[in-house]
Each structure stands twice: as C-alpha cells, then as structure tokens.
A and B are shown apart, each in its own frame.
Chain A
Amino acid sequence: MKTRYSRQELFLGETAQRKIRNGRILIIGAGALGSSSAEMLARAGVGKITIVDRDYVEWSNLQRQHLFAEEHAEQRIPKAAAAKQRLEQINSHITIHSLICDIHGLNIGEIVKGHDLIIDASDNFEIRLIANDAAVKQGIPFVMGACVASYGTTFTVLPGETPCLHCLFNHLPIDGMTCETVGVISPIVQIITALQVTQVLKILTGAPIEPILKSVDVWKDERADIDVSRLKNADCPTCGSGPTYPYLQYENQTKSEVLCGREAVQIRPAATREFILQTFLDKLKGLVGNPIINPFLLSCEFAGHRIVFFKDGRAIVHGTNDLRIARTVYNRFLQYYTD
C-alpha cells in the first residue's frame, strides 16, 4: 500500500501527496472529459471527488468514455452512478460522491460548497458560464475544458488573478458543432483531460498557474497558446468590481414547464435572440419529419417528438410530460443550428 503513490511522489514530493489527499474536487459532467479526469484523479489519490451528470450511458458513449462498459449501456445506468461504481473499484481509499441531476444557476451554489476546485467536463456553453459564475463567486479555481471532432481547448480560471470565462466570451454563444453533430475522437479527449488534470495537480500542490488559453488539434497536429491576461475585464459582470453573477440569476435560466393536459413541455431559453427558421430547417434536412414552416415558427418531428420551435428560441416539445426528456430533445435539436 505504501507504494501506491510512490511514482507520483518521486516527481511531486511527499508533501504534495498529502495536499492531493486533502483535495476536494467537483467534476461537472461524466461524459468523455469527466470520466477521463475522474479516473486520473481517483488514481492520483484525490481525497474527495464529486461527479455530477444528468444523463445515462448509451452505446455511442463507449468509444471514448473510459469508465463505462457494455452492461452500463444495456441497462441505461445514469453516468454519475456508473462512474462512482467504477471509481470505487479503482480506489477504495477515497470518497466518491455521485449526483444524478441537471445543474443550473440556482442549484449550483449548493453543489459547489465543500469543494476546492471545479473541473469543467460539461458539453455546453451555458453550464460552463454558470459554473464560471459559481466558481468566481465562491473564490475557487475552475478548470475549463471542451472538445469536439479532433479539436479541444482548455483554460484555468483563478478568481482574482486570471480573466474568467465571462471575460473571454462576453455573451452566451450558440454552437452548432457538438460531439453529436460533427463527432469526436478519443485522443483529443485524453489530451484535453491530461492538460486539465495537470492544472489540477499544480493547483492542489501550490505550483504557479499561467493565464494561458490553450487549444490543440490532434488530427491537424496544431496547437495554440495565448496569454490572455490582458483580456481581464475590470467591469466583467462575473469577476469585475461590481459582480452580478448573471448566470446564477433566476431570469437568466433556461425554463421549462409542463403544459397542462397537453402532454407537452415548453422550453424558454435564457437568452432571447432571433433564429432564422429557414436556415435552421436547411441544417435539419434528413433529420426531421413532416416539417412545417411559417414566418413565426418551425414545426417538425425530431427524435420521436413533435417540436414547435418559435423564432425567438422558445419551443414546445410534444409527446412528453418529463421536463428532463424535453430539455434533452430541445438541446439536441438546437445543436443543428448555426448562423
């Protein structure tokens, strides 16, 4: 047992191992990035790991999400639960918490409490900005990571020192490129995770962190490093002098509600913007059935549900009373939109 961390201790030192043991880390998302960093951190001996995810394991996850096996996909086990089970097999001397829930701006504060660091392993900009707000508000580091196709980015937010994500992108982007629309290969996931986990080990052991935004394209064999310290915005609504933490506010949450007696759920996105419906329909070609379009809305069948999508981004998802299912369908649908 004494030799368990010996190779790491030779490199980092024995005191460093104690610091790692005292680490309490929240991982947002148990997909590709989340399962990979959770496994590395569990093996490294981080004392407490909490992993949060709203989804369940599917066959299409197994190609890159290392904690999961066929039985999890067959039984549709929630990712957070499957991850906990596997992580406890890997290291029984640490504490693993799993939370099967949908993180939003109103519940993240409670979830973050009791952790020293947040790892971003989410799959969308909205949760990333929510997590950024929560991390800055509670004054703990936030290690952003994202990847799609063969490309990925990472940046570490140290509240009070580096710019935050909100400084880097001053509005909520809509991204048509996701793993579901353009795919992803496993090596880029491992590279981004390796960079994220290295940052975590540095933070836990007190090594300095540089304000460098990094990107890698493993297929094109390209990488970029940009020192973004001068992008720190003194008036940033998240990390500036008078913070309002906009992504934690009620009015900025994506809202969903069951429409009584209609077996349908209405989704209202946080940010209203105008969608060009014909462009959207063109992108959805071959993916939707029976489309109807008029100047106000686009109605079509998608993933077994009829979706009525209004040009301000509001939508009604028919055929379910389950908010979680409706939001999943809506998010998947929206992935196909690009300007």
Chain B
Amino acid sequence: MTLQINGKQVELPDNVNSVKKLLLHYKLESRIAVVELNKEIVKKEEYEKRKLVNGDTLEIVHFIGGG
C-alpha cells in the first residue's frame, strides 16, 4: 500500500491497514500523538476502526520531552 505520510510517499505492507496498525508499525502506539488522515484529525477511540487505503494522506505529530 502506498501512503503519503508527513510529506513523503511511503510503501507499507498491506496489513498496515488501520491508524492503530500504522502507529504500531512506527512504534508510536504508547506515545501521545495527533494523527490527521486526509485533512481530518482522527480521534484516539477511532484509531482501530479507521481503515487506511492506497493513496491516503497522513500527517502524524508525536510529542517528546526533550529540549
């Protein structure tokens, strides 16, 4: 599956087909993150049911402590 993530085209395994699985794939599942799918912010409760399809555009920002 081809997705546009943070401005870059990314090729991902077909089983990475939900927002939840995408966050797991990037090891961001335990972090606080804001995910936007096709210009719309996805609520945390919907991470599992929001499916991803070829060509979707995502923006992901996760928070970090350092500085």
Contacts and interface: CB of A to CB of B under 8 A. Distances in A.
A and B from one complex? yes
Interface of A: 29, 31-34, 120-125, 145-148, 151-153, 168-169, 173, 175, 177-179, 184, 213-215, 217, 220-228, 230-231, 338-339
Given A31-B67, A123-B65, 4 more contacts: A124-B65, A175-B31, A178-B66, A227-B36
Contact of A148 (B6, B36, B64): B64
A228 B36 CA distance: 9
A223 B30 contact: no
A215 B62 contact: yes
A199 B4 CA distance: 28
Contacts of A121: 67
Nearest to B40: A230
Contact of B66 (A123, A220, A225): A123
B53 interface: no
B60 to A, nearest CB: 6
A280 to B, nearest CB: 14
B34 A148 contact: no
Interface in B1-53: 5-8, 30-32, 34, 36, 41
A146 B66 contact: yes
14 contacts: A124-B65, A125-B63, A125-B65, A146-B63, A148-B66, A168-B34, A169-B63, A173-B63, A175-B63, A184-B66, A215-B6, A215-B61, A223-B7, A231-B41
A221 B7 CA distance: 9
B41 A226 contact: yes
Contacts of A177: 64-66
Given A214-B61, A224-B60, A33 B67 contact: yes
Nearest to B66: A148
A223 B59 CA distance: 8
A223 B6 contact: yes
Contacts of B62: 153, 215
Interface of B: 5-8, 30-32, 34, 36, 41, 59-67
B62 to A, nearest CB: 7
Nearest to B34: A226
B2 to A, nearest CB: 16
A29 B32 contact: no
A125 B34 CA distance: 16
Given A123-B66, A178-B66, A231-B41, A222 B8 contact: yes
Most chain A beta-carbon neighbours within 10 Å: one of B6, B30, B36: B6
Nearest 7 A-B pairs (CB), nearest first? A148-B66, A175-B65, A222-B6, A224-B59, A215-B61, A224-B6, A169-B32
A148 B65 contact: yes
Contacts of A227: 36
A34 B67 CA distance: 8
Contacts of A217: 6
A146 B67 contact: yes
B67 to A, nearest CB: 5
B34 A228 contact: yes
A332 to B, nearest CB: 12
Contacts of A146: 63-67
Contacts of B65: 123-125, 146, 148, 173, 175, 177-178
Contact of A173 (B6, B32, B41): B32
A220 B36 CA distance: 19
B66 A226 contact: no
Contacts of A175: 31, 63-66
A168 B44 CA distance: 12
Contacts of B32: 168-169, 173
